[in-house]
Chain A
């Protein structure tokens, strides 16, 4: 039997209309439910129960939970900075697949830094990476991650040195680990060591996000160094002339500077009327402590320039 053209046309039109209508209605439903009911929830919080329920397909489930953890961190990083479920999500992920190395490497970076850059839970990060080391004792990067958390977030150079040393004894360990283990001996909170740590991170990672993050931290350390150096030059100028410099030209004429100083992204530093040093484009220099323009508010999520 030949299909009736009228029925075909009517059914096609209705199909398209209903498809559009259902999309619009769903949008309205989402608007109504927004924030009231769509809260983050862990319906099954037991990693062991989830592993059993995966029927052996735990690798895929771990990938799903890792993606959930990444999305959770990203979402809360950009909004409220609350990370209650981050540690449980990472525990589930790594229980389902203890060999999922990105979950330890990035997970410790999500957990350990102070808010707003991270969840401010360095002890949870240590637990996570220790678990990773127990299941992947031949992965030197995990020892590096552990030492990094101990030194940068827990200010414990002794434990950091121990982690770097353990890692450096692995057959394919990166030479950075031996250097860092030695460096930890006399280092507590100095900029040189911090630069070394970020330098090691930059050199040893193949991930573009990790490298961009390390590069941004290295630039921020450079700005801190530059601002400190320029502050002391200004103080010396004031001491000899008895007045504050009105511009960098005064410092150049006084032979204290060879030229206009530039920041790590190539912009000249600004010298304000009250004698403060500022960067011109602070958005492109996330993580700086010094040199921020007065009243500057950093974006919630720093933009990392990828290589």
Chain B
């Protein structure tokens, strides 16, 4: 990584921390401790399941919200504050700016997820008094959640490179929802024929497949995750992120910033 990209990334991380993004950890801690203490009293037989399901769902949703709302402001804030002109007047290329911003937010989300993961495991230990061998798959689920975040961050950046923050948020969130239905989209595509079928198939492959990255329910039951799935999901997420970042760079390179 070039020092310029690293500097932009570290500044983005610092800015996110200054913007009190990590405050969501307090809400998360309260949620986890509440679940760990109270679920045993209001339900039967699912203490561990709730801690894993609730913990990972909260990690995912908190992160998606952060990725969208910080991601859409990464470029527009710099334009509004006019700091972008200062940055670009130095020997920083536009693509380096996009890459740095992306890596900064991805780093913030990873650190945030790491703290939340500690909370999930602490709550799990509180309810079970021990860890099981299958708990290692929770780490894989967390890794897949981070992959979701990087895709959403890249998409938010892509939309914010040509649209207003509000519209970018709407687009990114809509794509997240549609991507969660990716398996259904495939099903619909398989049922239709002719040009509509091709269109549906194309749409099913263009939208990000978030459902393949959501294995919360299966790891909650201690099911193992195939090594090939980890490999393919990683490759898929990286390819998708690269695609979205290339789109951002292409648009941002041509954007008239005057």
Distance of A67 Cα from B53 Cα, bound (Å): 14
Structural contact, A106 and B53, CB atoms closer than 8 A = no
Which segment, of B19-27, B39-47, B196-204, B242-250, faces chain A? B39-47
Interface string of A41-60 (1 = CB under 8 A from B): 00000000000100111111
Contacts of B42 in A (CB 8 A): 67, 70-71
Flag whether B49 is at the interface (Cβ < 8 A): yes
A to B contact number (C-beta, < 8 Å) = 64
Chain A positions 89-116 with a Cβ under 8 Å from a chain B Cβ: 97, 99-102, 105-106
Chain B positions 70-97 with a Cβ under 8 Å from a chain A Cβ: none
Contacts of A99 in B (CB 8 A): 217, 221
* A63 touching B46 in the complex, CB below 8 Å, given contacts A57-B57, A57-B214, A97-B217: yes
Distance of A97 Cα from B221 Cα, bound (Å): 10
* Chain B residue with Cβ nearest A71: B42
Interface string of A280-301 (1 = CB under 8 A from B): 0000000000000000000000
Count chain A residues whose beta carbon lies closer than 8 angstroms to a beta carbon of B. 22
Structural contact, A70 and B43, CB atoms closer than 8 A = yes
A59 interface neighbour in B39, B43, B53, B210, Cβ under 8 Å: B53
Interface centre among B46, B50, B180, B211 (most CB of A within 10 A): B46
Distance of A105 Cα from B177 Cα, bound (Å): 34
Contacts of B54 in A (CB 8 A): 60, 63
Flag whether A66 is at the interface (Cβ < 8 A): yes
Structural contact, B45 and A63, CB atoms closer than 8 A = no
In the assembled complex, the CB of A129 is this many whole angstroms from the nearest CB of chain B, namely 15
In the assembled complex, the CB of A145 is this many whole angstroms from the nearest CB of chain B, namely 13
* A63 touching B53 in the complex, CB below 8 Å, given contacts A57-B216, A100-B46: yes
Interface centre among B44, B49, B60 (most CB of A within 10 A): B44
Interface size class of B (residues with CB under 8 A): 20 to 34
In the assembled complex, the CB of B113 is this many whole angstroms from the nearest CB of chain A, namely 16
Flag whether B143 is at the interface (Cβ < 8 A): no
* A105 touching B45 in the complex, CB below 8 Å, given contacts A58-B217, A97-B217: yes
Flag whether B162 is at the interface (Cβ < 8 A): no
Flag whether A207 is at the interface (Cβ < 8 A): yes
Distance of A102 Cα from B45 Cα, bound (Å): 6
In the assembled complex, the CB of B13 is this many whole angstroms from the nearest CB of chain A, namely 28
Structural contact, B49 and A59, CB atoms closer than 8 A = yes
* A207 touching B45 in the complex, CB below 8 Å, given contacts A56-B211, A60-B53, A60-B54: yes
Known A59-B217, A97-B217; 8 more pairs at CB < 8 Å: A57-B57, A57-B60, A57-B61, A58-B217, A62-B53, A63-B43, A63-B50, A66-B43
Identify the 7 closest CB pairs spanning chains A and B, nearest first.
A102-B45, A59-B217, A56-B214, A67-B43, A59-B53, A60-B53, A55-B180
